[in-house]
Chain A
Amino acid sequence: MAQKIYPDAKAALDGLLFDGMTIAAGGFGLCGIPERLIDALVESRVKDLTVASNNCGIDNVALGKLLRTRQIKKMISSYVGENKEFERQFLAGEVEVEFTPQGTLAERMRAGGAGIPGFYTRTGVGTQVAEGKELKEFDGEMYVLERGIRADISIIKGWKADETGNLMFRKTARNFNQPAATCGKVCIAEVEEIVPVGSLDPDCIHLPSIFVNRLIDGSPYEKQIEFRTVREREAA
């Protein structure tokens, strides 16, 4: 059986990286981010990256690390707030952003991974997002043509995977990891635990193994929280 498991993130990225490449990354804010793989990208010094990811981390956390080292040329994102270094580079014209509505970004990844080069959506019609793009009327409504994304690699974070790469996510850490996984020519997944084949229920696989090319156990994870919000326990 072809071996998908690699000892660490650096090994899992070996032979795949080149300057100017496009990377699709999973995660929403700091939730479900492929942190080991991002660290390995920082270490690799690969540069001029175009990164399709909903966010760009926060200052020096997650993709924010790749920003600090100036390895990112362009982001394809829906929201890049809460990141001072991003703001600085953006206002100085050092990093480019293709603002993409969140649902359009998710669908661009899903479509790219499903062999669909473009699709029509109502999202963004009449706004600057639709400028320069083809418009088409269906059933009396206007839609804008958006392109599927095909990335050179996908980097994703899962919860558990079996040795073949069948993978499960946990709670809202699934987010963009699933569509991002499908749209890379090579998908590298990091998970919290690799379990023996047969120990995951086939009916509960979120990402079938065919979408996972390389796999690492990235544990232990610290998992940072962006906004810790709690309620008080009612007095007994």
Chain B
Amino acid sequence: MAWDRNQMAARAAKELRDGYYVNLGIGIPTLVANCVPPGMTVTLQSENGMLGIGPFPYDDEVDPDLINAGKQTVSQLPQTSFFDSATSFAMIRGGHIDLAVLGGMEVSEKGDLANWMVPGKMIKGMGGAMDLVAGVKKIIVVMEHVSKGGGPKFIPECTLPLTGKNVVDMIITDLAVFQRPDHDSPFRLIELAPGVTKEEVREKTSANYVD
């Protein structure tokens, strides 16, 4: 049986390590925050200028000056710090963030990521995604294995405009996990969701990978 959204987030959370500074994208990646193992210290960074994101606030503690990069109200922690956007991206671009978990529309077998625009549709913009993939030490993409139309999303070459070239380290889908040790190596199928077979993954993937 394929993983659901929370299970995909839980699988991504297995990549967390004690002491990590982590940036989580919008959607399924945000759910990773709920899966930090007890006893592990993970500090979440928000592009709009916050290190140490707390849980959503109680109703009477909502503060318009305290939001995350998804523009949702959040709370602060005793260890929280605030800073400006240029400093925030010095952290991101400068390689100070250990891990980013992002959503994806397409990932190529060479690790290219497309997740910001579909030609012909309204373009909302890339936000901080291009900076994250360019600067964060490890990039995990969490996405459905196939598109709404049923086509593969892990493919030989991206057809959509890129967010970054050769930037993805790990792909977690509802069916499987792919990983590569460095940016010169091919992706390897390292894990299957319960009840999913290698053959099913092969059938629903057009990218070349090792299994």
Q: Which residues of A contact B (CB under 8 A)?
A: 28-32, 54, 77-81, 87, 90-91, 97, 99, 101-107, 109-110, 121-129, 159, 169-179, 206, 223-231, 233
Given contacts A226-B71, A233-B58, contact A171 B66 (CB under 8 A): yes
Q: Are A81 and B48 in contact (CB under 8 A)?
A: no
Q: Are A102 and B164 in contact (CB under 8 A)?
A: no
Could you jot down 16 A-B contacts, CB within 8 Å?
A: A78-B126, A80-B124, A101-B129, A102-B131, A103-B135, A123-B131, A127-B163, A128-B161, A172-B48, A172-B49, A178-B85, A179-B84, A224-B64, A225-B67, A230-B58, A231-B56
Q: Are A225 and B62 in contact (CB under 8 A)?
A: yes
Q: Is B79 an interface residue (CB 8 A)?
A: no
Q: Which residues of B contact A (CB under 8 A)?
A: 46-50, 55-59, 62-68, 70-74, 76, 82-86, 88-89, 92-93, 112, 122-131, 134-135, 161-166
Q: For the A-B complex with A97-B125, A103-B85, A173-B65 known, give 20 more contacts whose Cβ atoms are closer than 8 Å.
A: A28-B48, A29-B48, A31-B64, A79-B125, A99-B126, A103-B130, A104-B89, A104-B130, A105-B85, A106-B86, A110-B86, A122-B93, A128-B162, A171-B76, A172-B49, A172-B82, A225-B62, A226-B67, A227-B67, A229-B73
Across-interface contacts of B68 in A (CB, < 8 A):
172
Across-interface contacts of A178 in B (CB, < 8 A):
84-86
Across-interface contacts of B65 in A (CB, < 8 A):
31-32, 159, 170-173, 223
In the complex the two chains form, what is the Cα distance from A123 to B93 in whole Å? Answer: 8
Which of B64, B89, B123, B130 is in CB contact (< 8 Å) with A127?
B130
Across-interface contacts of B64 in A (CB, < 8 A):
30-31, 223-225
Q: Are A103 and B131 in contact (CB under 8 A)?
A: yes
In the complex the two chains form, what is the Cα distance from A128 to B119 in whole Å? Answer: 12
Across-interface contacts of B89 in A (CB, < 8 A):
102-104, 106-107
Query: CB-nearest residue of chain B relative to A87?
Result: B122
Query: CB-nearest residue of chain B relative to A182?
Result: B86
Which DSSP category, helix, strand, loop or mixed, fits chain B's interface? Answer: loop
In the complex the two chains form, what is the Cα distance from A176 to B49 in whole Å? Answer: 9
Q: Are A177 and B125 in contact (CB under 8 A)?
A: no
Give, as a whole number of angstroms, the nearest-CB distance from A54 to chain B.
Answer: 7
Query: CB-nearest residue of chain A relative to B74?
Result: A229
Query: CB-nearest residue of chain A relative to B92?
Result: A103
Q: Are A174 and B73 in contact (CB under 8 A)?
A: no
Q: Which 6 A-B pairs have the closest CB atoms?
A: A103-B89, A126-B165, A103-B131, A81-B124, A178-B84, A223-B64
Query: CB-nearest residue of chain B relative to A229?
Result: B72
Q: Are B47 and A102 in contact (CB under 8 A)?
A: yes
Across-interface contacts of A177 in B (CB, < 8 A):
84
Query: CB-nearest residue of chain B relative to A228?
Result: B73
Which of A91, A105, A109, A127 is in CB contact (< 8 Å) with B162?
A127
Give, as a whole number of angstroms, the nearest-CB distance from B119 to chain A.
Answer: 10
Given contacts A121-B93, A170-B65, A174-B83, contact A78 B128 (CB under 8 A): yes
Given contacts A223-B64, A229-B72, contact A79 B127 (CB under 8 A): yes
In the complex the two chains form, what is the Cα distance from A77 to B36 in whole Å? Answer: 33
Give, as a whole number of angstroms, the nearest-CB distance from B56 to chain A.
Answer: 4
In the complex the two chains form, what is the Cα distance from A223 to B73 in whole Å? Answer: 12
Chain A CB count within 10 A is highest, among B71, B89, B162, for B71
Give, as a whole number of angstroms, the nearest-CB distance from B112 to chain A.
Answer: 8
Given contacts A101-B128, A227-B73, A231-B56, contact A172 B84 (CB under 8 A): no
Which of A81, A170, A173, A230 is in CB contact (< 8 Å) with B59?
A230
Given contacts A122-B93, A126-B165, A170-B65, contact A101 B82 (CB under 8 A): no
